[in-house]
Copies of this chain bind each other. A is one copy, B any other.
Amino acid sequence: MKKNIGPVLGLYPTPVTVLGTETGGKVNWVTIAHVGIIGLDRIILSMNKSHASNKAIKENRTVSINLVNEEMLVEADYIGLVSGNKVDKSGVFDYCYGELKGAPLIKKSPLIMECEVVDIYETEQHESFIVKPVNTYVDESMMSDDGSIDYEKVRPVLFEMPHRQYISTGKIVGQCWSIGKGYKK
């Protein structure tokens, strides 16, 4: 039996990310999980306009997307508790740089994409940055033998509303375009 709970956005859980930006020579971090995939090569990062990071992303047209695992969850949550407009968060994570200016990479993150902004989709209170990965960095210990990403090793932390809880990545439960072959009406 189902209940209609009204116009509730229920597309969870989604991956938690820390975005790395820079403005005025200062690094800033913001934690978001309102993210998505467009086509096969773009990511959308939806951010309230009040975030200090928005200005930096518009200035440099670059941003790093750092996936969050359980080992860095306390820091990632702390980032979400304090505003970069008031507190200097630059020292929370050790970082380095790849190819792009303005997109610091978190050393502790298991998987990082350094991205260029290709568009901004605007709604009332939010700017949603549409970005393309230019380089993707993965811990070698979290790759498959064929050199691709192994998400059972990366184990990204996910997020849900309305209870605002972090959820772990579970286990493999099937192979896409394969288990459906067993379908019988």
If A10-B111, A39-B125, A138-B2 touch, whether A175 touches B165 (CB-CB below 8 Å) is: yes
Contact (Cβ within 8 A) A44 B34: no
Chain B residues with Cβ below 8 Å from A81 are 177, 180-181
* Residue total for A at the interface (Cβ-Cβ under 8 A): 99
Q: A17 near B: Cβ within 8 Å?
A: yes
Chain B residues with Cβ below 8 Å from A80 are 176-177, 180
Q: A171 near B: Cβ within 8 Å?
A: yes
- In this complex, what residue of B is CB-closest to A164? B176
Contact (Cβ within 8 A) B151 A78: no
Once bound together, how far apart are the Cα atoms of A74 and B176, in whole Å? 9
- In this complex, what residue of B is CB-closest to A110? B2
Contact (Cβ within 8 A) A148 B162: yes
A3 to chain B, nearest CB (A): 5
Chain B residues with Cβ below 8 Å from A70 are 173
Contact (Cβ within 8 A) B164 A177: yes
Contact (Cβ within 8 A) B180 A8: no
Contact (Cβ within 8 A) B39 A37: no
Contact (Cβ within 8 A) B136 A7: yes
If A2-B140, A13-B151, A34-B38 touch, whether A174 touches B181 (CB-CB below 8 Å) is: no
Most chain B CB atoms below 10 A, which of A8, A134, A152, A175 = A8
Contact (Cβ within 8 A) B165 A172: yes
Contact (Cβ within 8 A) B75 A121: no
